[in-house]
Amino acid sequence: MNEQSLSVNTGSNIELFITDLSSEGFGIGRIDGIAVFVEGALPGEKISAIVTGEKKNYLTAKLTEIIIPSPNRQEPFCPVFEKCGGCSLQHMSYSSQLDYKEKKVKDAVERISGLKNVQINKIIGAKQDKGYRNKVQFFFDYKNDEVNCGFFGRKSHVVINNYNCFLIDNAANRLKNEFAAFIKKNISEFYESNSKSAIPKSIIIRQSFKANELMLIIIISKKMDKRLEDLFLILHDDLASKIPELKFVYYSVNTDPSDYSLNNKIMHLAGSNAIIETIGDLRFKISPGSFFQVNTLGAEKLYGKIIELADLKINEAALDLFCGTGTIGLFLAFSGGKVYGIDIVESSIKDAKENAKMNKTRNAEFVRGDVSKFLEDYISDKINSSTSKSGAGKIDAVVVDPPREGLGDKLVSLISKLNAGKLIYVSCNASTLARDLKSFDVLGYNVKEINPIDMFPHTVHVESIVLLSKVENGVSQKG
């Protein structure tokens, strides 16, 4: 940026009219033709701010005063909203959040994919905008002799204490608070003076809403020994006496001081083995490390839309890639046809197989494996071969629900070579979705419709369900 062309620099006080929101939820205004990003500002507002940073093509600024507020502004319901990184849109009315997310998908598709005249349907809102999460991770730090438990702060690893997180159920909040209280009361047993840190690094809470049961996974900083195991069993007994919903306790060791994530070795400590959740008419076992949609009520809407778009007939077959615990695949199987699910996570495939048995589903098979390798084997062994290494015959529809990084060129190419008439792409990242849609278009798959769905109220995240169809001789197959 040419500093001479600007009338402001870092530290300058400015007034701005906010005209838009970024994909991260920052208000956007302009000064001297340069975009200024202001956290907490909303479109339609006139604000005062202090410039905090100068980048190559834009400025950042800190909101200091709202001179003219947006009619869509509301008072945040969480007392630590401005500090906590758990959610970032509480200052917007829910209806304006939906408008923002629908626009976010449209903007990404137009800007990144370059596709024109794409049908983007009205966003599907959430039935419940609070207490909707069935999985949450809270972090610990131990500064100034205090035990802090909560989400990390915005753009930091500072833990923000919050007694009541509005995104989770009351039982999950009680479990978090009782766990933190026990650690604080017994900190001398858990604290390691040589590393100046306590052994519990974070906790993951999973919940079955139908059964009203909780699973606790404790991520610890050192290898479990007899003394520590006895201590955690005492902790379990204390929690179970106060939180009757607690039925499952696991732990995982992660010795990297900067890494709070769950690794592949998850050990059972106490209680039963796995949560059972019910969605629609189907029941699903969920192990500690398995993927499952974090919004149970939203998942029912999500799967219903996928089944509608797939319209799988009894004589047709579908691939469910990145299948997790088999939720989408089993819903597809119950609607008719044969389904093959693939996922790299061992616990997910184990759950998927058990879920098929539990729901008495005979027309769904689940295979553990890398999706790329599975598709390469399938394609190399001829698409219509009943003796292919993959075990699948002709594929009529493909459903993909990849991680946030999307598919990428290699997987897009492999999936296109299946020549399935229909492709349903489920995405939680509008940018990587748009990138992949552009690649699919080049390879002969037209976007028929995009359906945004709000699975994460009060955050900037939005899910999308996209229907694509194979073009043959200039005409899309199956609708």
Contact 210, 177 (CB under 8 A): no
At residue 240, what are phi and psi to the nearest 5 degrees?
A: -65, -30
Largest CA distance in the chain: 73
Q: Strand pairing partners for 451?
A: 465
Count the Cβ atoms, other than its own, within 10 Å of residue 335: 18
Catalytic residue among 87, 165, 323, 428: 428
Burial of residue 257, with CB atoms counted within 10 A of its CB: 0-12 exposed, 13-18 middle, 19 or more buried: exposed
Count the Cβ atoms, other than its own, within 10 Å of residue 37: 20
CB within 8 Å of 354: residues ≥ 6 apart: 285
Is residue 87 part of the annotated active site? The answer reads no
Count the Cβ atoms, other than its own, within 10 Å of residue 238: 16
Identify the helix (H) or strand (E) that includes residue 329: helix 327-334
Q: Are strands 148-152 and 135-141 parallel, antiparallel or unpaired?
A: antiparallel
Separation between Cα atoms, residue 89 and residue 20, nearest integer Å: 14
Separation between Cα atoms, residue 195 and residue 255, nearest integer Å: 11
Two tokens, residue 56: 């190559």
Catalytic site positions: 428
